[in-house]
Amino acid sequence: MAKKIYVGNMSYNTSEEELRDLFAQYGTVLSANIIIDRETRRPKGFGFVEMEDDSAAVAAISQLDGQDFGGRNLRVNEAIAKPRPSYNRY
């Protein structure tokens, strides 16, 4: 089962390819996305990585959280889905 990982405090110069390569050391990476500001089209300094295997994701989280990458200490943890607001139709 795939596991989605939040990666924060990234350098604004980090590419999706670099992010993918960093996590590929721990297992198969299904996707690596860096979040871009809609207005400025510049990276926001965080992104998400989806890994194929739960155990690889756990290993990546434990090894990379706090690790220096691109001159910044990464914040790496399991991504938690934001609850969608429910709209009242009345």
**pLDDT tens-place string over residues 38-69:** 999 999 999 999 999 999 999 999 999 999 99
Q: CA 71 to CA 37: how far, in whole Å?
A: 21
Domain residue ranges in the chain = 3-78
Pairing status of strand 72-73 against strand 68-69:
antiparallel
Confidence of residue 89 (pLDDT cuts 50, 70, 90): low
Q: Please tell me the class of the 3-78 domain.
A: alpha beta
pLDDT for residue 90: 59
Amino acid letter for position 66: G
Q: Which element (helix H / strand E) includes 54?
A: helix 54-64
φ, ψ for residue 69 (rounded to 5)? Answer: -145, 115
What residues are paired with 73 via a beta bridge? Answer: 68
Q: Which of 78, 54, 53, 52 is nearest to 64 (CA)?
A: 78
Largest pairwise CA distance in the chain: 52
